[in-house]
Each structure stands twice: as C-alpha cells, then as structure tokens.
Amino acid sequence: MPARPDARMPPADARSSEHMTEADKSGARFLWPRLPPYPRVTDQTGRSATHGNEGGHPMNGSRIRAVGHYQPAKVLTNEDLAALVDTSDEWIRSRVGIRTRHIAAPDEPVDELAAHAAAKALAAAGLAPDDIDLVLVATSTAVDRSPNTAARVAARLGIPRPAAMDVNVVCAGFTHALATADHTVRAGAATRALVIGADKMSDVTDWSDRTTCVLVGDGAGAAVVEACAPGEASGIGPVLWGSVPEMGHAVRIEGTPPRFAQEGQSVYRWATRQLPPLARQTCERAGVAPEDLAGVVLHQANLRIIEPLAEKLGAVGAVVARDVSESGNTSAASIPMALSKLLEQGAVGAGDPVLLFGFGGNLSYAGQVVRCP
C-alpha cells in the first residue's frame, strides 16, 4: 500500500540551508553567498562567452522587470467537450470550476507558444533579444529531447548566445525556474534572464478520457528577470521548495504516445492539507505576512484546490487568481499567465507583494513572494 502523501514530508527549513544567511533563516532579506568572479572568456564572435554582469561579481538581488502571456486562438468550451465525451457543462463546473480552455493548433508547437509570450515580455521591458543572456523554459511537453525548448525559443527570438535550458517540474516548473534565474543572477552568472512557463497539454491528453480532458489547456507566460540596481531591495524573495518523491506517481505524463494521468484524490488531499503551511512559510521567508499580500497566484489546477488553499493561507486582503476558469490547467504556464493577467487587469500593481506558489508533478512544490513590475 503506498504511503500517504504527507507521510514523509521533509522539513521546509532543511531546504538549501547551506546557502542561507542567518538573516534569511529568520525570514529577513535573502542574500546569496559571495562567490569568486567568473573568468572573462570570449567565443568565436568575440562576445563574452560567460556573459553575466561585468566580471561575474555576485549581486544583492534580482527582480521581475516585465511579464507577458500568450494563448492560442481556439477556445474549447464545456459544450464542445460534451460532444466528445460523456460530460456536461454543469458536471465540469461543479467539479473543477472550468468553463473554457484554449487549445493550440496541431502545427503550433510549445516553443512557438513560449516565444510569443517571451516576445511580449521583452517588449514590455523595452529590451532587445541580445539583452538576454539566460533562457529558462519550464515545460513538460517539449517537442523533442534535443534541441531543448529553451534553445528553440532563443532561435525563434534571435537571442544570440544565451545559456538555454529546460526545467521539467510539470505544474511547479515556473516557480522552480524563477528561483533558478534568481540564484543565477545573484551569483553573477547572468544579468538578464527570460523565464518562461509553457505547456501544450493538448498534445499529451487522451481526449476520450473525461477525467483528464476536461482539465487541460495550452498557453505560455514569461517574465524578464534582471539584477537589481545597487541599493535596490530584491524583488524576488527566497524560494521554499521540495517534493514527495515516493508519491511521484500521483501525477504522470508517461507512455507512448505520452499521456497525462493523475490520482486526483491523492493530489487533492496533499494540496489542501499539506501545502497551506508551506505557503505560509514561504511568506515568512520573505518577511511578508499573508494578510499583507496584494495577490496570491497558485498553480491553476482547479478551483476545488485553489479556493481552500487560499483560504487556509489567510491572505484576507489579497486578490486570488482564478484564471483556471477561463484557461483550464495549463501546467507550467498557469502561474506566469495568471500573474500577467492580474497586472493587465490592474488587480495588482507595481511594487505589490504577490505570492507565487506552484505544485503538482512529482508532488513537487516551489514558491516565492515577488514584487510586481
């Protein structure tokens, strides 16, 4: 008999303690440890091959400069799904709170979705492709094993010599990638990063299975992350992350062709029972009380998970993202898309503290409090 999802949850304060100052452990400002400078090396074009800030010196913090999102044109309604499988609008709304979702065309790959979102974020930041030296794409629906999605996005956008890598943590992928970008910028190994969450879940869905096909949608969201100016407070708080590896089978994309499957009740119990205290600890690490949050952006799994988790967090004054109702579960894309939409709608504004908290595949989680661009 498999262990309960909460049977072996590692203590949150065990997370990367060797990289934390005493101030961080007390919930105050996080400072990445001082590292030696990176050597300056040039590639065959004469451009710095290591990039990063001049000399590779560690920085005090990073911030989100701009965000953007993209969704395919096609909208799939609950009524459309009722024509495919034994379901109804009422059944779907009452169980997961989803009304519509966007579905990409067969010839619209996930890297194209990602590139559209990234281009919008770059435009909002007023930056050119060659201002970027790191591309991170959180996705579990890559076209091929190699070249990876990040390299494909860089090629589409004309980013000349970036470090480019994919992060596969399924629904928690974006917050893992954001933490990775933050740490990389703090270490002085990058100056500006494109952090993208993108998934084409329609490619890995069994459209004859009513328990999964009603959930998913396609899309992408992106953020430009850059080093803070001297003396500027960090705009990305310390990450709290972890997983329950022995319960990794609860959310899967497996088989040939790969298909999304999950053990819904196990995921629901874990998310609503185990994640609220972890979300509160994330706020504590940032030195922000839940009641002082302006926004809460959880992974957009379904409303039956989002609403109790947000309520137990105690963020009474915060707007809670509920983009899942219109977009479905877009996996790694859900958090950056929802944040971008809240900013676009004026529901949160520049400088506002917002909790981002991803969870899902591998029964992984990662969260941080960010200041809105």
pTM: 0.86
- CA dihedral in degrees (285, 222, 170, 98; nearest 10)? 100
Do residue 147 and residue 285 come from a single domain?
no
Please tell me which residue in 116, 283, 299, 302 is annotated as part of the active site: 299
Residues 6+ apart with CB under 8 A from 275: 309, 357, 359, 365
Domain harbouring 218, CATH code: 3.40.47.10
Lowest-pLDDT range, 10-14, 134-138, 179-183, 270-274?
10-14
Residues 6+ apart with CB under 8 A from 2: 246, 247, 249
Looking at residue 53, what is its pLDDT?
59
Do residue 290 and residue 207 come from a single domain?
no
Q: What is the pLDDT of residues 289-324, one digit of tens each?
A: 999 999 999 999 999 999 999 999 999 999 999 999
What is the domain extent for residue 193?
A: 34-72+101-227
Please tell me which residue in 53, 78, 329, 362 is annotated as part of the active site: 329
Asked whether residue 160 is assigned to any structural domain, the reply reads yes
299 is a catalytic site residue: yes
Residues 6+ apart with CB under 8 A from 1: none
Do residue 249 and residue 207 come from a single domain?
no
Average pLDDT of the residues in 262-282: 96
Do residue 176 and residue 132 come from a single domain?
yes
Query: Last residue of some domain: 192, 208, 227?
Result: 227
Between the CA of residue 55 and those of 49, 51, 156, 188, what are the distances in Å? 12, 9, 29, 8
Asked whether residue 24 is assigned to any structural domain, the reply reads no
Asked whether residue 83 is assigned to any structural domain, the reply reads no
Do residue 138 and residue 187 come from a single domain?
yes
* Cα–Cα distance for residue pair 373/370, rounded to 1 Å: 9
Instruction: With a cut of 50, say whether residue 27 has pLDDT above it.
Output: no
Q: What is the pLDDT of residues 201-218, one digit of tens each?
A: 999 999 999 999 999 999
Asked whether residue 364 is assigned to any structural domain, the reply reads yes
Instruction: With a cut of 60, say whether residue 36 has pLDDT above it.
Output: no
* pLDDT grade for 60, boundaries at 50, 70 and 90: confident
Looking at residue 56, what is its pLDDT?
60
Do residue 177 and residue 292 come from a single domain?
no
Please tell me which residue in 53, 69, 171, 183 is annotated as part of the active site: 171
Do residue 46 and residue 176 come from a single domain?
yes
Element (H, E) at 178: helix 173-186
Do residue 149 and residue 262 come from a single domain?
no
Instruction: With a cut of 50, say whether residue 19 has pLDDT above it.
Output: no
Percentage, residues of the chain above pLDDT 90: 83
Structural domains of the chain, count: 2
Element (H, E) at 164: strand 163-167
Average pLDDT of the residues in 341-360: 98
Average pLDDT of the residues in 12-22: 42
Do residue 217 and residue 251 come from a single domain?
no
Percentage, residues of the chain above pLDDT 70: 84
329 is a catalytic site residue: yes
Asked whether residue 247 is assigned to any structural domain, the reply reads yes
Asked whether residue 132 is assigned to any structural domain, the reply reads yes
- The token pair at 262 is 């999950």
Note the helical H segments in 53-109. 78-82, 89-96
Asked whether residue 1 is assigned to any structural domain, the reply reads no
Neighbouring C-beta atoms of residue 188, cutoff 10 Å:
23
Residue 121 near residue 222, CB atoms below 8 Å: yes
Q: Using DSSP, state whether 27 is helix, strand or coil.
A: coil
Instruction: With a cut of 90, say whether residue 359 has pLDDT above it.
Output: yes
Asked whether residue 23 is assigned to any structural domain, the reply reads no
Do residue 188 and residue 40 come from a single domain?
yes
Do residue 241 and residue 190 come from a single domain?
no
* pLDDT grade for 57, boundaries at 50, 70 and 90: low
Do residue 219 and residue 290 come from a single domain?
no
Average pLDDT of the residues in 115-123: 99
Average pLDDT of the residues in 110-117: 99
Query: Last residue of some domain: 193, 210, 227?
Result: 227
* pLDDT grade for 281, boundaries at 50, 70 and 90: very high
Query: Last residue of some domain: 227, 261, 283?
Result: 227
